[in-house]
Structure 1
Amino acid sequence: MNNKIKEFQKKLVKLKLPLALVFSTKLKDPAFFYFSKINPEYALMLISPNFSPKLYCSSLDFEELKVHSRIKPFLQFKKNTLEQIKKLTKTHKIKKMGVNFSYLTVNELKNLKKLFKCKFVDISGELLNLRAIKTNDEIKLYQKASKLTEQIWSRTLAQIKLKKLKTELQVKEFIEQQIKRINSAPSFPTIVASGKNAAIPHHVTNNAKLNGFCIIDFGIRYKGYCTDVTRTIFIGKPTNKEEKFYNLVYETKECAANKINCGEKTANIVKTARKHLGKYDKFFTHGLGHGIGLEIHELPNLKENSKEKFENGMIFTIEPGIYFKNKFGIRIEDDYLFERNKLIQLTKAPKKLVVV
């Protein structure tokens, strides 16, 4: 049995939950992949502190599970499968079950309540907290994913410098081609925002020519896990004031990173960053960062009202930015690992503004 499941079983004991159901259905709960390393079309996992995990899948996914599933043995759905599960719950006198409400449709939950005459408890928070602390295997995977992400950026910047990529759309397409070449996928739609468009944090990339400050925000999904970086470069000749704005954003990122300690509230780091921005704080219009993992936004949250604290094993972004409406914007984002009471920078934005 893998360590992730053992850890979750301990959480179930604390919650006094004898059983948790984890589904891979329409909404694709990331927890299913987290425990099993597979992402089948339709499957059900039973996790209990009282017996070994059980995994049920459709005949379409059976062969894939044979090769890739961490959970063995597994069972194929049959006509009497649900009756067997009902019998199992009666044998173990199960009156309460945990399910991830965030990844069940209203109809799915309704049908569950009809089938099992017991109380259902939302375990979405427990699953998020579990996934926030990365295992050694996940950390190794992230170290590789970060290198690949940096390599893609290096190739992209080289093409921009050679004037082979002249529009936002061309940059986006090149990045996503490079991601495809390494058998990965974008972890979210790539954002390329140049000139006035850079003043819009989540600008929709278009055919605008690269000019002035250019924000490039992208990531890869490597073996299921997401990276997320943002680079800001300048096309043309920046003024001294524009260079100072870049330096301010970079220094804000560094200032926030340097304040991180084990047990420190994430909200305190946000306050540190905003204080460093001084009078330009009002032009910083989003959170300072977020956890990354199987989803692009996970725990911990780096917002002023966040409740989380930094813990060993967390991987997250720090991404300060300033945006001047109808003028320009600057955002710098790197990925970090907090491990053994130290902050490790997985990706490294340039200290000095890159001018093309």
Structure 2
Amino acid sequence: MKLNINKLKKLLKKRKIDVGLIINSRLNDPSFFYFADVIPEHAFMFVSSKFPTRIYCSALECEQKKKQSSIKNFKELNKKAIDNIKLLIKKHKIKKIGLNFSYVTVSEHKRLKKLFSGIKIVDLSQDLKQLRAIKTKKEILLYKQASKLTETVWAKTINAIKKHKLKTELQVKEFIEAEIEKDGYKTSFPLIVASGKNAAIPHYSPRQNKLKGFCVVDFGINYNGYCTDITRTFFVGKSTKKEIELYNLVNNAKNYASTLITPGKRTAFVTKKTRQALGKYEKYFTHGLGHGIGLEIHEFPNLKTEAKDKFYPGMIFTIEPGIYIKNKLGIRIEDDYLLGEKGLIQLTKAPKDLVVINR
């Protein structure tokens, strides 16, 4: 995207870096897609104010990716290209290159240091995460569409559970995956479906266990590269007054957190206040309050007590309080939110009341 390229150029200027080098190789860097709208299998992207943005990739992909990308300066990656890159660096007197260290292997880093001998290579990983945290209008539109699709998949799932068509954790997992694939998309991470005492394990892998008691379903859709992430908790069997109260406690905590979020507010402040709202059950809340989402399932901002991050307009993130009582139960409710210029917008909406399915 041209807008995103311009954002990177401003960042490079601010940090006095001559060239931003984005590499997609063994480790798939989501930032490559962020700037180019395509992900060639093995490619180099050079971004600078000194010359037009250019991408080097294999001859097999060059023409096809050029048609799909907003960047039109594609060149074949071969031995001649390496000489051209060296000439480019020399011609424009490049002294400092910014690189996403998070997506470069040790061996690749060594080769790059050899290729750019005498040039300082600095880490851009945190800067790129900060850059991607503020979503563009196009990204926000994609998220609104993705959120609707995610809600639709969940509506079909809970309906199938109510009709007793899905009776085990694994059946729920497979149903959701099939619904997502039916629409031509993929899941954004391995699904979590946890029933009964298994729900007390936040990152549980579904098995053939029958649905009973509190059931936690955590899933998301990778929609045109962007990840949604929601968690729904429902109850199978006869719920007690206490169990309904626990669900309400978690749901109220999520809603309370949303009232605290304003531009410039520290994520740690919101996290601490929300934890306190759980009262004596705070000790059973064993993970962060939420996280940013985007091209990766975990992005900025981090909603943790020790985080230094702040909320800014354009950020899209989850709020996901939970309580986990070992060998007894687990409850987690997670929705996706957008911080707009005029306030917080809830992109997905968990049920206000606990859904109870009698069997």
Q: Scaled by the length of structure 1, what TM-score is found?
A: 0.99
**Are 1:107 and 2:90 an aligned pair?**
no
Please state if 1:224 is matched with 2:222.
no
Task: Name the aligned partner's letter for residue 64 of structure 1.
Answer: Q
The structural deviation recorded for 1:67 is 2.4
Task: Write the mapping of 1:87-236 to structure 2, written as runs, cut at 5 A.
Answer: 87-117=87-117, 118-236=119-237
Q: Are 1:58 and 1:77, in contact at CA under 8 Å, matched by a contact in 2?
A: yes
Q: Secondary structure at the match of 1:134?
A: coil
| Equivalent pair of 1:262/1:341 in contact (CA under 8 Å) | no
Distance across 2 between alignment mates of 1:153 and 1:64: 36
Counterparts of 1:268 and 1:341, CA distance in 2: 21
Equivalenced residues, count: 356
Shift of 1:296: 0.2
Write the letter of the residue equivalent to 1:154. A
SS in 1 for 2:135: coil
CA offsets 1:80-115 (integer angstroms, 9 cap, x no match)? 111111111111111111000000000000000111
Deviations 1:112-150 (CA, angstroms, capped at 9, x unpaired): 011111111000011000100000000000000000000
Worse-matched range after superposition: 280-289 or 72-81? 72-81
Once residues 247 and 64 of structure 1 are traced to their aligned partners in structure 2, the CA distance between those partners, rounded to angstroms, is 52
- The CA distance in 2 between the partners of 1:182 and 1:164, in whole Å, is 21
What SS class does the counterpart of residue 323 from structure 1 fall into? Answer: strand
CA drift of 1:62 comes to 1.6
* Structure 2: unaligned runs, 5 residues or longer: none
Corresponding residue of 2:75: 75
In structure 2, the residue matched to 1:24 is: 24
Instruction: Please give the alpha-carbon distance, in whole angstroms, between the structure 2 residues aligned to 1:342 and 1:64.
Output: 41
Alpha-carbon distance in 2 for matches of 1:171, 1:67: 39
* Aligned 1:305-320 pairs, distance under 5 A: 305-320=306-321
What amino acid sits opposite 1:157 in the alignment? Answer: I
Separation (CA, whole Å) in 2 of partners of 1:60 and 1:194: 47
Instruction: Tell me which residue corresponds to 1:327.
Output: 328
Whole-angstrom distance in 2 between the partners of 1:108 and 1:63:
25
SS at match of 2:216: strand
Where in structure 1 do 4 or more consecutive aligned residues deviate above 6 Å? none
SS at match of 1:4: helix
Once the two structures are TM-superposed, the CA of residue 230 in structure 1 deviates from its matched residue by: 0.1
1:42 maps to: 42
CA–CA distance in structure 1, aligned partners of residues 247 and 80 of structure 2: 63
Q: Deviation of residue 50 (structure 1)?
A: 1.6
Contiguous gaps of at least 5 residues in structure 1: none
Question: What code does the residue aligned with 1:347 have?
Answer: T
Q: TM-score, normalised by structure 2?
A: 0.98
> Cα distance, 1:78 vs. partner?
2.7
Amino acid paired to 2:84:
Q
- Residue 74 (structure 1) shift: 1.1
What is the one-letter code of the residue matched to 2:153?
Answer: I
Q: Tell me the SS of whatever aligns to 2:44.
A: strand
1:261–1:341 CA contact under 8 A, matched in 2 = no
- Whether 2:341 is the aligned partner of 1:345: answer no
Which residue is equivalent to 1:65?
A: 65
Name the residue aligned to 1:269: 270
Query: What's the CA shift for 1:59?
Result: 1.3
Distance 1:10 1:173 in 2: 45
**Counterparts of 2:121 and 2:26, CA distance in 1:** 20
What amino acid does structure 2 have at the position aligned with 1:224? G
**Aligned partner of residue 278 in structure 2, secondary structure:** helix
CA shift at 1:6, angstroms?
0.5
Separation in 2, partners of 1:272, 1:86: 54
How many Å separate the matches in 2 of 1:81 and 1:220? 38
* Amino acid of the structure 2 residue aligned with 1:208: N
Letter paired with 1:182: D
Question: 1:64 Cα shift?
Answer: 2.3
CA distance in 2, matches of 1:268, 1:74: 46
Q: What is the identity percentage for the equivalent residue pairs of Structure 1 and Structure 2?
A: 58
Deviation digits for residues 239-292 of structure 1 (CA, Å, limit 9, x no counterpart): 000000000000000000000011000101001111100111000000000000
SS in 1 for 2:288: coil
- 1:218-255 deviation line (CA, Å, top 9, x unaligned): 00000000000000000011100000000000000000
Displacement of 1:20 after TM fit? Answer: 1.1
- Write the letter of the residue equivalent to 2:98: G
Q: What are the residue-to-residue correspondences of 1:273-312 with 2, within 5 Å?
A: 273-312=274-313
3-state SS of paired residue (1:309): coil
Q: 1:70, CA displacement in angstroms?
A: 1.2
CA distance in 1, matches of 2:226, 2:85: 32
Deviation at 1:341, TM superposition (A): 3.6
